[in-house]
Chains A and B, each alone.
Chain A
């Protein structure tokens, strides 16, 4: 690229990724017109904020929390209560700003819990977060006036006046509201990583001892980071309230806490955009895969364990592993070996899917005696033949994959060697 061009495209080269993301977000609902996919996109937007806020703890501050949904849920409850207060005409806040109520509510609780739980990181923090999560989840049923008991608290967003004058009835309008907040939150959370507190959160994660000898109290750094993470989780919860117009006790519970951990980890904690990928993938899997197969929990569990064992840096880590190779224009050396690996990986995948589906069909399906169909083929699960094929596919796939992996390693070795030579 010529220098002149570079200057002309300054906006693009520096902010290109952001602009592209914004455009995608704006045009997406035109490709996905059904109510279901728009609802899913809305849920994905909420999940992205939630997962990124979680990564402010796990990725950036090294705090493994088992109770992050406390803030998600509380944010939702604060928002729905404020929404109802607004509906009753006691105060006036436009609908577009209601998620902030969740954020500010959560940040206050976050400061208290943060102070109590972050004196030490590591296991003590993880256990305190687990305990606080259990306590809040249990008390959610004990305080029905705030949590609404089992029924939850519901509201009607149509009764609240909107700043933009839009009637927030249809899903598409809410989608854009969520998209706006998600985009704003992503930008803010990204910028936060560049602030003194953001840098110090990293410092405290890597070496709390040293951080205290440059004047910082690690406890305070963690507390503030924790409270800010709570803020964004609260915003996500607030959007949840506006989107579904109901908030129930399940939102503060262990399930969303576990979900956000999985999203973030699968996406990758080491890179800012990792949790975004994780939120998209996991939400998609939960909503769509569950429609395709009732065995989806097994696939999900296998995916999670697989990521922990083989790709602890997540999807983002795998992608970023290729950054230097891409920059050195050496991808063409890796691609052939990848292409070779795709085929056996597919066979192994096919075999595994068949194995799980057949076992599931026999054991837990509605009618095990009925013929089952998989990939358009109908067969009887009771006969030995499909089992034979399954075992055959798994063995062949596994064997070939071992060899393919060897090839991939080899080409990686070559690429690394070339890059080393070039840099020196």
Chain B
């Protein structure tokens, strides 16, 4: 008898799990999948706010097409991300965007390709705003994937283009995290430096475990001993901040060429240690509007900072999200419907005017071509460096602009395209 009671109880427990089905409105829903809880929630949180703001701005223009951003918490877990992909599809969402975690982006491309093949009536598009593994638009490319960020090889090409003209750089040290992205940065750095500045010596080449090093002093000691005057690193998060801080503490005088020094939360962590030393490659920073005299952009991002940025504590960062949303708006209008396949064809080859020039979505590999900037962390509040980041007193100052065309790279992508 009692056992029966237990089984009934278990049954009731299972029945409680009602799925939440939201009725689809006329608006276009974009599923946003990134970590929204746990240690990396700050990254996902920032992305989500940018998308919300971009949607707000488009909706405020009052067209008949409206956007709604539906957040899903990936928790940086592949399996949960895939479940949430199903969840999103259930809710009638046909556009998914995601940025954090190359493991998830790879899995999403696979899963969406399989899904679209197995369920031609519910095809889904994957809009990638931040995952920079070159493979995604090369050997691993897919018709259903569009990338709005320049991939790591493109960014590295920008960095090496800059280094090419810096005659005082003689020795370069490579320090990267020991995983796929770190390896990619390392290999590409060696190849590109050799091609562009054969006289530069690779003074050292170190891979370290990702996220495990607490004290970078021993690595700094090696950089110091090698006599390098520049460091190229694909490190992000604490692996990058700790590297720069340890360098400062040992009085290491080098330039750091980084991908993620401007990432959310990084400048406060680096602090003064990075001023004049740390360079980043991005498509935007918050003094660009002044340097290129685009007051409209200032209005745009200051509006964000007021609404979502906590008065600059978590400021605007992703110009590409604005670009992506505006291009999506155009593409859906062009396609005449929010059908994934038609929108994908509409996006292919599309050009778009951003405040800083024209960008193009390449049809061959679905990679966005946009201008990139090399900038240096500097003391803010001066004449040229107007704004600081995250209320730190430090801001970015452009060293060089690399035109969109110059960032384009050859692709190995062989895309299978469905019939129109």
- Contact of A246 with B4 in the complex, beta carbons under 8 Å: no
Which residues on B sit within 8 Å (CB–CB) of A220? none
- Contact of A35 with B86 in the complex, beta carbons under 8 Å: yes
User: Does A32 lie at the interface of the complex (its beta carbon under 8 Å from any beta carbon of B)?
Assistant: yes
- Contact of B13 with A277 in the complex, beta carbons under 8 Å: yes
For the complex, what is the distance from the CA of A138 to the CA of B307, rounded to whole Å?
41
- Which residue of B15, B107, B118 contacts A169 across the interface (Cβ within 8 Å)? B118
Contact digits for A117-157, partner B, Cβ 8 Å, 1 yes 0 no: 00000000000000000000010011010000111101010
User: Does B351 lie at the interface of the complex (its beta carbon under 8 Å from any beta carbon of A)?
Assistant: no
Which residues on A sit within 8 Å (CB–CB) of B2? 323, 326-327
Which residues on A sit within 8 Å (CB–CB) of B77? 250, 255
- Contact of A326 with B10 in the complex, beta carbons under 8 Å: no
- Contact of A36 with B87 in the complex, beta carbons under 8 Å: yes
- Contact of B6 with A154 in the complex, beta carbons under 8 Å: no
Known contacts A244-B78, A294-B73, A326-B2: A280-B7 contact under CB 8 Å: no
User: Does A422 lie at the interface of the complex (its beta carbon under 8 Å from any beta carbon of B)?
Assistant: no
User: Does A395 lie at the interface of the complex (its beta carbon under 8 Å from any beta carbon of B)?
Assistant: no
- Which residue of B10, B135, B308 contacts A277 across the interface (Cβ within 8 Å)? B10
User: Does A249 lie at the interface of the complex (its beta carbon under 8 Å from any beta carbon of B)?
Assistant: yes
Contact digits for B220-246, partner A, Cβ 8 Å, 1 yes 0 no: 000000000000000000000000000
Known contacts A150-B180, A246-B110: A280-B14 contact under CB 8 Å: yes
Known contacts A20-B4, A250-B77, A296-B37: A149-B180 contact under CB 8 Å: yes
Closest A residue to B107 by beta carbon equals: A246
Closest B residue to A288 by beta carbon equals: B17
Which residues on B sit within 8 Å (CB–CB) of A171? 86
Which residues on B sit within 8 Å (CB–CB) of A250? 76-78, 103
User: Does B82 lie at the interface of the complex (its beta carbon under 8 Å from any beta carbon of A)?
Assistant: yes
- Contact of B4 with A16 in the complex, beta carbons under 8 Å: yes
Stretch of B44-52, B291-299, B400-408 contacting A (4+ beta carbons < 8 Å): B44-52
User: Does B11 lie at the interface of the complex (its beta carbon under 8 Å from any beta carbon of A)?
Assistant: yes
User: Does B162 lie at the interface of the complex (its beta carbon under 8 Å from any beta carbon of A)?
Assistant: no
User: Does B342 lie at the interface of the complex (its beta carbon under 8 Å from any beta carbon of A)?
Assistant: no
Stretch of A37-45, A60-68, A211-219, A305-313 contacting B (4+ beta carbons < 8 Å): A37-45
- Contact of A17 with B86 in the complex, beta carbons under 8 Å: no
Known contacts A43-B83, A246-B110, A290-B73: A35-B90 contact under CB 8 Å: yes
Contact digits for B11-24, partner A, Cβ 8 Å, 1 yes 0 no: 10111111111000
User: Does B40 lie at the interface of the complex (its beta carbon under 8 Å from any beta carbon of A)?
Assistant: no
- Contact of B19 with A37 in the complex, beta carbons under 8 Å: yes
Known contacts A34-B90, A35-B90, A364-B45: A150-B181 contact under CB 8 Å: yes
Expressed in whole angstroms, the minimum distance between the Cβ of B189 and any Cβ of chain A is 18
User: Does A194 lie at the interface of the complex (its beta carbon under 8 Å from any beta carbon of B)?
Assistant: no
Q: How large is the interface on B (under 10, 10 to 19, 20 to 34, 35 or more residues)?
A: 35 or more
Give A82-104 interface residues, CB cut-off 8 Å to B: none
User: Does B409 lie at the interface of the complex (its beta carbon under 8 Å from any beta carbon of A)?
Assistant: no
Contact digits for A14-44, partner B, Cβ 8 Å, 1 yes 0 no: 0011001100100010011011111110010
- Contact of A286 with B80 in the complex, beta carbons under 8 Å: yes
Which residues on A sit within 8 Å (CB–CB) of B20? 288, 291
User: Does B210 lie at the interface of the complex (its beta carbon under 8 Å from any beta carbon of A)?
Assistant: yes
User: Does B300 lie at the interface of the complex (its beta carbon under 8 Å from any beta carbon of A)?
Assistant: no
For the complex, what is the distance from the CA of A390 to the CA of B227, rounded to whole Å?
61
Q: Is the interface of B mostly helix, strand, loop or mixed?
A: helix
- Contact of B21 with A34 in the complex, beta carbons under 8 Å: yes
Expressed in whole angstroms, the minimum distance between the Cβ of B190 and any Cβ of chain A is 19
- Contact of B80 with A287 in the complex, beta carbons under 8 Å: yes
Which residues on B sit within 8 Å (CB–CB) of A34? 19, 21, 90
- Contact of B3 with A284 in the complex, beta carbons under 8 Å: no
Known contacts A39-B86, A291-B73, A366-B308: A276-B10 contact under CB 8 Å: yes
Closest A residue to B88 by beta carbon equals: A36
Known contacts A151-B180, A287-B80, A366-B48: A36-B90 contact under CB 8 Å: yes
User: Does A170 lie at the interface of the complex (its beta carbon under 8 Å from any beta carbon of B)?
Assistant: yes
Expressed in whole angstroms, the minimum distance between the Cβ of A298 and any Cβ of chain B is 9
Closest A residue to B4 by beta carbon equals: A16
Contact digits for A348-377, partner B, Cβ 8 Å, 1 yes 0 no: 000000000000000010111000000000
For the complex, what is the distance from the CA of A138 to the CA of B211, rounded to whole Å?
10
- Contact of B13 with A151 in the complex, beta carbons under 8 Å: no
Q: Residue among A24, A240, A327 with the most chain B CB within 10 A?
A: A24
User: Does B212 lie at the interface of the complex (its beta carbon under 8 Å from any beta carbon of A)?
Assistant: yes
- Which residue of A152, A287, A319, A367 contacts B107 across the interface (Cβ within 8 Å)? A152
- Which residue of B36, B79, B89 contacts A294 across the interface (Cβ within 8 Å)? B36
For the complex, what is the distance from the CA of A207 to the CA of B4, rounded to whole Å?
34
Give B297-321 interface residues, CB cut-off 8 Å to A: 307-308, 310
Expressed in whole angstroms, the minimum distance between the Cβ of B56 and any Cβ of chain A is 10
Which residues on A sit within 8 Å (CB–CB) of B3? 16-17
- Contact of A31 with B15 in the complex, beta carbons under 8 Å: yes
For the complex, what is the distance from the CA of A72 to the CA of B248, rounded to whole Å?
43
User: Does A389 lie at the interface of the complex (its beta carbon under 8 Å from any beta carbon of B)?
Assistant: no
Expressed in whole angstroms, the minimum distance between the Cβ of A106 and any Cβ of chain B is 18
- Which residue of B75, B82, B90, B106 contacts A151 across the interface (Cβ within 8 Å)? B106
Which residues on B sit within 8 Å (CB–CB) of A326? 1-2, 5
Expressed in whole angstroms, the minimum distance between the Cβ of B76 and any Cβ of chain A is 7
Task: Write the residues of chain A forming the contact surface with B, with a CB cutoff of 8 angstroms.
Answer: 16-17, 20-21, 24, 28, 31-32, 34-40, 43, 138, 141-142, 144, 149-152, 154, 156, 158, 169-171, 240, 244-246, 248-251, 255, 273, 276-277, 280-281, 284, 286-288, 290-291, 294-297, 319, 323, 326-327, 364, 366-368
The 6 closest A-B pairs by CB, nearest first: A36-B87, A37-B19, A35-B86, A149-B180, A151-B106, A34-B90
Task: Write the residues of chain B forming the contact surface with A, with a CB cutoff of 8 angstroms.
Answer: 1-7, 9-11, 13-21, 36-38, 41, 45, 48-49, 52, 72-73, 75-80, 82-84, 86-87, 89-90, 102-103, 106-107, 110-111, 114, 118, 133, 135, 178-181, 209-210, 212, 307-308, 310
